Each structure stands twice: as C-alpha cells, then as structure tokens.
Amino acid sequence: MSPRARIGLAVLLALVVLVCDACSGAKTQPFPSPWADRPVVSLGFDVAADLHSATGQETVVFTPDQATCELVFRNWPNKPTTARAGNSLVVDQVTVDGQEAAAQNSADGAPDDAPAGTLLRIPLATCAQPGQHITVVLDFRLTLGEDVDERIGTSSTDQIAWFGTAFPLLAWERGQGWQRDPAVPVNGEMAVSEDFRLTSLEVTAPSKFQVMGTGTAAGTRRGADAGTTVHQFTASAVRDVTVTVGQLDVTDRTIDGVNVHVAAAQGTETDLSAWTDEVAVAQKALVKLLGPMPYQDLWLTVVPSQSSGIEFPGAVQFGAVDPNARAPLVAHELAHMWFYGLVGNDQGRDPWLDESFATYAQLLTAGGDTPAFGDIPQADRRDVGKPMTYWPHVRHPNTAYYDTVYNVGAAALLQARQSAGADAFDAAVREYVRRNAYAVATPKDVEAAFADLPQALAVLREVGALPSAGR
Ligand SMILES: [Zn+2]
C-alpha cells in the first residue's frame, strides 16, 4: 500500500468514525436535553422489617425560573383512594437552606380522617429570585395499607411492599408556578412534576429482601443496622419514583439495549418469563410507532392486589391480570414511558394527554376493547379534555372518567390518524414526543403538533380535547 493510499485510508477511517459517532449520538440522544436547571433530588427510604412502613428523607435543590415566596410539595399518598386504603405520608420536619422551616399542611382533597393532607406549603423567609438555588430537606414517615389496589401498599401474605409517588413531590411547573389542584376521589393520577435529576435513591431494607427502584442500579452496601442492605439507584431525568421491596423473584433481560427487570412476590408463582416476552413484543412495536425507548432501565413489578397497572418513569406496577389481558395492559403501561414519562403532563389538569395517547398507542400495537369512533354516540363525543376535578360531579365518576378520557380520547386519536393519513399522523406524533421531551406538555402543544393536519384537529375539537377553533 502506498503512503498516499495509507493517508487516504486514514482519512476515510476518520470520516467513518466521525459519521458513526454522529449516528450513534443520534441513536442514544434522540431527544433534546432535559432542563439544565431541573431540581436535583436525593431520596432515601428506610423500610421496616414487617414491610408496613418506612421512614424517609428527601433533599431537593430547587432553582425556580420565576420569583417565588414559598415552596409547595404534594403528598399524594394522602389522596382519597390511597388514604382510605390505609396509606399515609406525614412530613415531620423541614429545613430550608439549613434553617428549620414552618410547613403548613392542608387537606386539599384528603379525607377528613387522613393523618395528613395532600398539600404542604413552606413560606420562605426571603422570596427567591429566578435562578437562585434553594435547598430543602424533608423528613417523612410513610405508612402502607394492606393489600391495596393502588400505587402504594403492602401484602403480609406475599411479603411485598410497593410505593410509588410516596415522597413529597415538588409541585413546580416551569413557566407556570405551583400546582395546587385538589386531590379528588376518582381512580386516577393527579400529579404533575418536572423531571428532576435523581442523584441518589437509597432504599434500606432487611438483607433478605430484593429491591426494585427507579433509574439505574448503582450497587448495594451494608446498612447501618445489622441485617440491612442499602440499595442505590440514580437517574438523569425522572419526574417520579417508585420502589418495590420484598421476597421477590426477578427476571432480568436486555431487550434491544434496554435493561428490563421483571419481579413478582415469590409466593405468587408469577410466570415472569411470559411477562418479559410480552414486554419485548410491546417495546418493539411502540419504539417503531413512537421513537426510541426513553429509559435505559425498566423496573416492572407484578403486584398481587392490583387489578390494572400504574406507570412511573422507567417503571410500572402491573396488576396480576388474566394472561389474555396481559398484552394490551403491557402495551398501555409501556406507552406511558413516552406519554407521561418522557412527555410529561399535568395529570390533574389534562389527564387525556397521557391516558388517551397511551390507550391509542396500546390499540395500535396490541389491540383492546375500546369502541370504534363511529360507534360512539354523538352525545358521548365530549369532555375528553376535562380536568380530574370535573369527574367527581358526574354520574359514576370512575366509569365515566375511564370511558371518556381513555376510550373516547383514544378512539378520537385513531379517527384523527385515519382522517389525516397514518404516515403524516405518526410523523406528527413522533415530532410531538421529540419536541416536548422532558417537559410538561399542554393541549396547545398537541394543537401545534397537528397544525398541518386540520382533519386531526377537527376530530380532537369535536370530543372536547382541544379548545374550540377561534377561541
Ligand atoms: Zn394509563
């Protein structure tokens, strides 16, 4: 080989490396970066040996993008459906920048007999300016109800405890401020949170138990108390956290580069390999439809007393459903990794932004029993965009909420896709996901995403998901 050829080859190789770098960069960084000033959270849970309670400490470094004279945290375990099942979250002590702070806890939808309310307000000694760092430390106690069909609970029989959104959640929305909507007695989520950097999640539990967390596992160490182990996790950007602790069977499988961990209580003899197969099928179909999986790790737990499924960023609690119902459930909950996990929304103000879209993606990839748009009576083609505070006031709130926000919303999105053309619609959805990654989306963002697809906008307006034209 001549020197010139060698130089030519070296240049060619360098170009290939450059191009490949760009390729793999595009593959691993398909979304815009998270908010640089996002809250920085470290969170610790110390789980009791009987799996019925935990103590915790949360440190948040918050950098507001608007001036504020207070901090607001939401204690969602005290919302009606979880509080009535015996769960509670009580904050005992708060410090702000090293000084003890007086926190005001108010019910905001919590039942009268709940040990604490859903809203914690902490007035600041001095108002904070945009860009200022505020360090808040909250000590809290968590009590878990027995055999709960919800996101927080414990099972003495099966030796498993699961707790999602079970810490004071900073209720800030960029450009908006504090979210104070009351909790309502309807089966559904109401929380909103910006993504935060989870520098450390540490779960201390008796060493005989396994622990499933959120983010990436970062090792274990011996706990301060004899017979305990500290399990560490970390995540660059998540908007919520869930943990499972117990006598678990766990299956780990890498699916197209994603580390999938599936667990269930040992006594339940759950077919973990069947669940993992279903996850593989759903993940492949959803990635094709929506774009890359937003999380490197998926922590999935089959919870014995749950009847459906509950989504968290990079994690899901699944109900122990009939095998025939598994495929649509898995597809629905995994679709939430894009709609709610990556593209956040205020689940109290705009629940359709995650539930209608997740059901839509589920129907396209795994089917389900949602009626076709044409079979939905004209009178029911409305209310998709209503907030959670609307639903307690209608007949049969839980059914009405589900039938409308999940089913009418999803059927409308399918109809919108058909009217606008599948290719154009799918491309617009993928662009909506990319553009709103790591943010809290609003119906206006959907409107913008479908701006070139007036047929799609017309269907969404018809069902009340978007403001009427001209408003
Ligand atoms: Zn859902």
pLDDT digits (tens, 9 = 90+) for 159-189: 999 999 999 999 999 999 999 999 999 999 9
208 CB neighbour count, 10 Å cutoff: 12
Quick check: 9 pLDDT over 90?
no
Q: How far is the CA of 394 from the centre of ligand 1 (A)?
A: 21
Q: How far is the CA of 224 from the centre of ligand 1 (A)?
A: 39
Q: Which of 268, 369, 261 is nearest to 315 (CA)?
A: 261
- What's residue 25's pLDDT? 37
Percent of the chain with pLDDT over 90: 92
Q: Which of 39, 68, 61, 60 is nearest to 129 (CA)?
A: 68
Q: What is the mean pLDDT of residues 269-295?
A: 97
The region, left, alpha or beta by phi > 0 then psi within -120 to 50, assigned to residue 257 is left
Q: How far is the CA of 399 from the centre of ligand 1 (A)?
A: 14
Distance of CA 269 to the CA centre of its chain: 27
- What's residue 234's pLDDT? 98
Q: How far is the CA of 367 from the centre of ligand 1 (A)?
A: 14
Q: How far is the CA of 333 from the centre of ligand 1 (A)?
A: 6
- What's residue 469's pLDDT? 58
239 CB neighbour count, 10 Å cutoff: 25
Q: Residues 47-63: pLDDT tens digits?
A: 999 999 999 999 999 99
Q: How far apart are CA 257 and CA 460, in angstroms?
A: 35
Quick check: 365 pLDDT over 80?
yes
Q: Residues 11-32: pLDDT tens digits?
A: 444 444 344 433 433 344 578 9
What SS3 class is residue 79? Answer: coil
Please give the DSSP secondary-structure letter assigned to residue 408: I
Q: Checking DSSP bridges between strand 309-312 and strand 297-303, what pairing results, if any?
A: unpaired
Q: How far is the CA of 412 from the centre of ligand 1 (A)?
A: 16
Helix, strand, coil % over all residues of the chain, rounded to 5: 30, 30, 35
Q: How far is the CA of 406 from the centre of ligand 1 (A)?
A: 8
CA distance readout (Å), 41 to 32, 73, 147: 21, 13, 30
Q: How far is the CA of 310 from the centre of ligand 1 (A)?
A: 7
What SS3 class is residue 42? Answer: strand
8 A C-beta contact, residue 291 and residue 339 = no
Place of tokens 């390729």: 23
Angle at 361 between CA 356 and CA 367, to 5 degrees: 105
- What's residue 30's pLDDT? 78
Quick check: 96 pLDDT over 80?
yes
Q: How far apart are CA 87 and CA 47, in angstroms?
A: 14
Q: Residues 396-454: pLDDT tens digits?
A: 999 999 999 999 999 999 999 999 999 999 999 999 999 999 999 999 999 999 999 99
Q: How far is the CA of 59 from the centre of ligand 1 (A)?
A: 29
Query: What does the radius of gyration of the chain's CA atoms come to, in whole angstroms?
Result: 23
Angle at 140 between CA 136 and CA 145, to 5 degrees: 145
8 A C-beta contact, residue 306 and residue 149 = yes
Q: How far is the CA of 467 from the centre of ligand 1 (A)?
A: 23
Q: How far apart are CA 164 and CA 148, in angstroms?
A: 13
- What's residue 23's pLDDT? 41
Q: How far apart are CA 233 and CA 199, in angstroms?
A: 8
Q: How far is the CA of 231 from the centre of ligand 1 (A)?
A: 28
Percent of the chain with pLDDT over 70: 93
Q: What is the mean pLDDT of residues 196-200?
A: 98
Q: How far is the CA of 197 from the centre of ligand 1 (A)?
A: 24
Q: How far apart are CA 391 and CA 409, in angstroms?
A: 15
263 CB neighbour count, 10 Å cutoff: 25
Question: What is the arrangement of strands in the sheet containing 258-265, beginning at the earlier edge strand?
Answer: 248-255, 258-265, 297-303, 315-319, 309-312
Q: How far is the CA of 133 from the centre of ligand 1 (A)?
A: 34
- What's residue 181's pLDDT? 96
- What's residue 29's pLDDT? 55
Q: How far is the CA of 184 from the centre of ligand 1 (A)?
A: 17
Quick check: 4 pLDDT over 80?
no
Q: Where do the structural domains in the chain lie, given as residue ranges?
A: 34-238, 247-337, 343-462
Q: How far is the CA of 319 from the centre of ligand 1 (A)?
A: 13
8 A C-beta contact, residue 330 and residue 284 = no
Residue type, 116: A
CATH class of the region 343-462: mainly alpha
Distance of CA 164 to the CA centre of its chain: 9
Polymer length in residues for the chain? 471
Q: At what angle do helices 409-420 and 422-435 cross, to 10 degrees?
A: 120
Q: Which of 159, 232, 160, 150 is nearest to 187 (CA)?
A: 150
Does 1.10.390.10 match the CATH number of domain 247-337? yes
CATH class of the region 34-238: mainly beta
Q: How far is the CA of 199 from the centre of ligand 1 (A)?
A: 27
Q: How far is the CA of 307 from the centre of ligand 1 (A)?
A: 13
Strands (E), 294-354: 297-303, 309-312, 315-319, 343-345
Distance of CA 9 to the CA centre of its chain: 49
Q: How far is the CA of 452 from the centre of ligand 1 (A)?
A: 28
What SS3 class is residue 122? Answer: strand
Q: How far is the CA of 40 from the centre of ligand 1 (A)?
A: 27
Do the first three CATH levels of 247-337 and 343-462 match, i.e. the same topology?
A: yes
Is residue 308 classed exposed, middle or buried when 0-12, 13-18 and 19+ CB atoms within 10 A define those classes?
middle
Residue 455 φ then ψ, to 5°: -65, -40
Q: How far is the CA of 336 from the centre of ligand 1 (A)?
A: 7
The pair of three-digit structure tokens given for residue 298, joined into one six-digit string: 């998926």
Q: How far apart are CA 304 and CA 377, in angstroms?
A: 37
The region, left, alpha or beta by phi > 0 then psi within -120 to 50, assigned to residue 338 is alpha
Q: How far is the CA of 426 from the centre of ligand 1 (A)?
A: 20
Strand partners, 74: 119, 169
Residue 91 φ then ψ, to 5°: -95, 125
Q: How far is the CA of 91 from the centre of ligand 1 (A)?
A: 29
What is the enclosing helix (H) or strand (E) of 431?
helix 422-435
Q: How far is the CA of 259 from the centre of ligand 1 (A)?
A: 22
- What's residue 12's pLDDT? 47
Q: How far is the CA of 309 from the centre of ligand 1 (A)?
A: 7
- What's residue 325's pLDDT? 95
